[in-house]
Amino acid sequence: MPELRASALVEAPVQTVAGALLDTSLITKFGVKVAGPLLCLGDELGGPLGVRLKVTRADLSGVSAEGDFLSLRTDLVPTAAGTMVVDLVSWTTPGGLLGRFVDVTVGRGMALRVLEQRGDALAKRCEALNQACVVVGAAIVRDGLLLAQQRAYPESHAGQWELPGGRVEPGEEPVDALVRECDEELGVPVVVGDQVGPDIPLKEDLLLRVYAAKLDGGEPEALEHKAIRWLTAAEIPALDWLPADRVLVPALEALLR
């Protein structure tokens, strides 16, 4: 199976680069069809000439998509100067002399051009995310369970689930904002830990950043939401999450494990 490798250094932390890779606008411009604005584990991708791929990885380590004749893999390697992005494209060559000729003269050149263009778009998206406003979320864990809260509004998202949190105010540190939001939404103090998963693009100039957290006393209540619920790792994938929170399902499962 022929392979094509390419690599580039992006001057951004791995959480930002991993988040930018989830922005489907980076691939739809090349004719790839995908269901939503964010790439999620299990998504089906439709490409030119009837190519079908399934997303098999979308996390801090990178993204992968597999199909019958084509495989795409992007690995992320943190370095002191930024994040090394390593792409690997492999495909099945049509049989015969004509197939091999097309592979060498057309397939490889086309794949290389797409990777170069995607690399430029990725660098620009990371630059925008580095300047974006931040919404923080708390992955609160107690006794091996994760706390989620159910939206009551707006109508378009009523009944769906999300992690506690909210927007960072001007001049406010993300950790301080998360402590404040948990007090306002749940009525409890929390201790904030490390970031969980990648930054999640919400808009061109807005991203979601989730941190692990634990309760520092009290019992959480649904002060601003319809309900709260403690989840096992097995329950996390089946819950009707808001789209941005759903991207983090693999990271949340790993956090509980």
Q: How confident is the model at residue 63 (pLDDT cuts 50, 70, 90)?
A: very high
Judge contact between 190 and 138, C-beta under 8 A: yes
Tell me: pLDDT of 106 over 60. no
Q: Is the dihedral of CA 46, 249, 228, 136 positive or negative?
A: negative
pLDDT confidence of residue 105: 43
CATH superfamily of 3-130: START domain (3.30.530.20)
Tell me: pLDDT of 98 over 70. no
pLDDT confidence of residue 156: 87
Tens of pLDDT, residues 6-62: 999 999 999 999 999 999 999 888 888 998 999 999 999 987 767 889 999 999 999
Instruction: Read off the pLDDT of each residue in 107-134 and give the average, rounded to a whole number.
Output: 85
Tell how strand 133-142 and strand 206-215 pair up. Answer: parallel
Q: Is 90 left (phi over 0), alpha (psi -120 to 50) or beta?
A: beta
Q: How confident is the model at residue 117 (pLDDT cuts 50, 70, 90)?
A: confident
pLDDT confidence of residue 99: 47
- Give the Cα separation of 207 and 16 in Å (integer): 10
Tell me: pLDDT of 100 over 60. no
- Give the Cα separation of 41 and 251 in Å (integer): 11
pLDDT confidence of residue 109: 63
Q: What is the mean pLDDT of the chain?
A: 91
Instruction: Read off the pLDDT of each residue in 115-133 and give the average, rounded to a whole number.
Output: 92
Tens of pLDDT, residues 74-87: 999 999 999 999 99
Tens of pLDDT, residues 145-188: 999 999 998 888 999 999 999 999 999 999 999 999 999 999 99
Question: Of 25, 32, 24, 29, whose CA–CA distance to 48 is shortest?
Answer: 32
User: Domain locations in the chain?
Assistant: 3-130, 133-256
Tell me: pLDDT of 102 over 50. no
Q: How confident is the model at residue 1 (pLDDT cuts 50, 70, 90)?
A: low
**Which CATH code is given to the segment(s) 133-256?**
3.90.79.10
Backbone angles phi and psi of 169, in degrees to 5: -80, 155
